[in-house]
Amino acid sequence: MRPPGLAWLFFGFGGRIARQSYALSILLQLLLFFLVVYWAMAAGENQGLKAFAGFAFTGVAFFNLWSSLALSVKRLNDLSLPAPLALLIFLPMVSPLLILYLMIREGDPNENRHGPPPMRQLRGGGN
């Protein structure tokens, strides 16, 4: 069985991910966001570059929204918690706390209805 790829990681809602994968993915999202903001600010008075940076910002914003939801659902799956809790990611005062919780809380070490623990999945599923 092939290990899941980046498309599944950022866009898929099924399965489980470990807290390390979740944390690194969230950091990548922040990096993309700050790079686009920096690029827009560095455009200065160049209107064409500012417009292009605006489109890039919109693309990164949609990517970050969708992938934050997908990552949070998979992380909640790993914790054996209900997936609709991932919608809390859209509440500004709750979002940082949820992200921190999902980064810190250790996953369920046993197989659950979403599959085996993430690291065992990548190693080939051996017991």
Distance CA 111, CA 113 (A): 7
Contact 32, 77 (CB under 8 A): no
Instruction: Pick the closest to residue 10 from 79, 58, 62 (CA basis).
Output: 62
Do the Cβ atoms of 62 and 36 come closer than 8 Å? Answer: no
Residue 120's pLDDT band, with cuts at 50, 70 and 90, is low
Domain spans, the chain: 15-122
Closest CA to 99 of 53, 30, 52: 30
Summarize pLDDT for 2-14 with one digit per residue, the tens: 667 899 999 999 9
pLDDT at 69: 97
Encode pLDDT of 26-80 as tens digits.
Answer: 999 999 999 999 988 888 888 888 899 889 999 999 999 999 999 999 999 999 9
Q: What pLDDT score was predicted for residue 90?
A: 93
